[in-house]
Structures are given as C-alpha cells and as structure tokens.
Amino acid sequence: MTQDTQAPNTESQAVVQHHDNDVRQRFFIEDSPVRGDVVRLSRSYATTIAQKPYPEAIKRLLGEMLTAASLLISTVKINGRLSIQLQSSDSDSLLNWAMAECDQDGIIRALASWKGDTDEQVQAWENMLHAKEAFAELGAAGQGVLFINIQPDGGEPYQGIVERSHDNLADCLAHYQKQSAQIPTLINLASDGLQAGGILVQMLPRTAEETYEVEQNQDAGIDDDLWTRLSVLTRTVKAEELTTLDTNEILYRLYNEEKVVAPDPVSLSFGCTCSREKCEMAIAQIGETEVLDIVAEQGGTFEMDCGFCGEVYKFNKDEVETMFADKASILFS
C-alpha cells in the first residue's frame, strides 16, 4: 500500500470529499500488530442532533458518543449493534442520560434527556459550550454510569460497565479497553456541534510466531518502539483536524513515515429502527384499559413518537381494540 507515503491529492478529492464526510476508515501498520480506525461524521451527525433542541454541550457530547460507537463496533466481530450509554446517578444533574448507537452496516443514531424546565437550568446549559462540560454532569469522578451494550443479531446481549476513570469520554473508553480486553488503546474524540470525528488505535497481542521470533532473535524485525512512537504521534492530532480533515489526510498527517495499509472505507449514515410493530409491542405492555383511557383523553387517538427520528405513530380506538383482541386470540389459540 502506499496511501501512507503519498500526500493526499486535495484537488481530485475536492469533488468527492463531501460524500466521504460520513465514513469509518480502517487502517493497519504493515508487519505489526497495530490496527485502528478513523471516523468522520457530518450529515449523519447533523441529522441526529436536528431531532431535538439540544443544548450546545449535549450536541457535542452526542457527536463524541456517535463517533465512539462507530469506532468501537469495528473492534468487535458481530452482526448487530453496539451502543454507548451514559446514566447520571445524581438527581440534581442537568443531564439525565444519553445514548448513541452504531450497527454493523454503519447506521447510527443517538438520543439524550436533560433538565431544562427552569430559567436557571436553561441558563446553566447556555453557559456550557463543550462536550466535557455535559459529560461532567454525570457527577464527580467515580459517579455516574457508563455502559457499552453489544447486541448481536439473534444472540445474547452483552453489557460492559465502563469505569468513570477520567473527566472525558475518550479516556474512559480507552481505559475500559485496556482493562477489560487487555489491549493498549488510544482514543481521541472531537465534535464542534456541526461535525464530529475521532481516531482509535490499538496494539493487539503478538502472535505465538512473533513471540517466538523475538525470543529466538532480538533482530527479528519486531519494532518494540512502534507503540510508543504511535502514541506520541496520535496525541498530536488536534480537535479541529478530526472534525475537518478527510480521513486519509488525518492518516497522512499522523503516520506518513509508517507503512499504513488502508482498505476501502465504510459509509456511515443516520437511520432508525423504529416501526409501527414495535409501538404495538410497547402499547401491549401498557394494557388495554389504560391505553383506551388515553385514547379518550386525547380525542380519539393514541400517539407515540420516536425520539430518535421524530416519526409519529397514531392508533385510533378501533385499532387499539383490534390489536388487543388479536393478541388475546393468539394467546388462547
């Protein structure tokens, strides 16, 4: 390969760069156990945060969370979804919860709940401009709960609890990867409220063959300084570079002296999995009597709206009664 050794042709990329602004670019360092991904989000991120009047700090936090979910799903070999969830443990926190999700096809979505009913709460959010400030609303270090949820299609779900070890999302997730998977990991996330981006780099364990070569021959070609060198380089990337540069430009900017192998990128896009059928399942959990009472109170219609995409599902009295009648007939058939 040689995408690493050639400066990006910005003139030829100018036409297509807009279409490449929602991508995940995997990369490898040739002849080494290092792998990584770079994510850039533009239109998909803008669509996500347009669904609700989010305060600026939450917009930026959701950008980091979407980027992180898009990066982390590439580290697990599943057909399914990976989500990151933040949950406040303090009733006085202005941030109730937030979640972001990415599936194996690169479909992303996110949602957050926050307190903004009083003038004081509104003003507090207006004074916050950065993702780190919204993240701090989880509480002091050690407080709040961070989850990584993995849902394989047709398989058993897995939930990992992420220690609130740092004051920002990226370092908490990197710490989790190192502690849980025993894999040295660097994660850098950025969001400016309009675009988002990030990079993940991991040093995978040496294979048995590589370990044997090192034990037998100290000049076996294994670069022991590689991780240290990449760590220093990766930490030099600026937030504005992660949110504005093309993924190949970021790789060239950081690792132009390394032998980088970059396969075809994966497109990322906003999408939602809501459906009328899922609404019917939720309605069934409420119960027929209560739902019919709501229908009467709301002028003959029961409405459910999706917080992720804004889609509104309406059910009239006849539809509700038919729904429960059908479920009853199935139950006793």
Q: Which two tokens stand for residue 7?
A: 């400066």
Domains 15-270 and 276-331 share a fold: no
In CATH terms, is domain 15-270 a member of 1.25.40.80?
no
DSSP codes, 213-271: HHHH-TTSS--TTHHHHHHHHHTT--HHHHHHS-HHHHHHHHHTTS-EE----EE-EE-
Q: Which two tokens stand for residue 317?
A: 């009295």
The DSSP 8-state label assigned to residue 182 in this structure reads -
Do 48 and 270 contact (CB within 8 A), yes or no? yes
DSSP codes, 22-76: SEEEEEEETTSSEEEEEEEESHHHHHHHTTTT--HHHHHHHHHHHHHHHHHGGGS
Q: What pLDDT is stored for residue 305 in this prediction?
A: 86
User: CATH top-level class for 276-331?
Assistant: alpha beta
Per-residue pLDDT of the chain (333 residues; tens, 9 = 90+): 333 333 333 333 333 333 458 999 999 998 889 999 999 999 999 999 999 999 999 999 999 999 999 999 999 888 999 999 999 988 889 999 999 999 999 999 999 999 999 999 999 999 999 999 999 998 777 777 899 999 999 889 999 999 888 999 999 999 999 888 888 999 999 999 999 999 999 998 765 565 555 555 554 445 568 899 999 999 999 999 999 999 999 999 999 999 999 999 999 999 988 888 888 888 888 888 898 889 898 888 888 888 888 888 998 888 888 888 876 554 444
The domains of the chain are located at 15-270, 276-331
DSSP codes, 257-323: TS-EE----EE-EE-----HHHHHHHHHHH-HHHHHHHHHHTTSEEEEE-TTT--EEEEEHHHHHHH
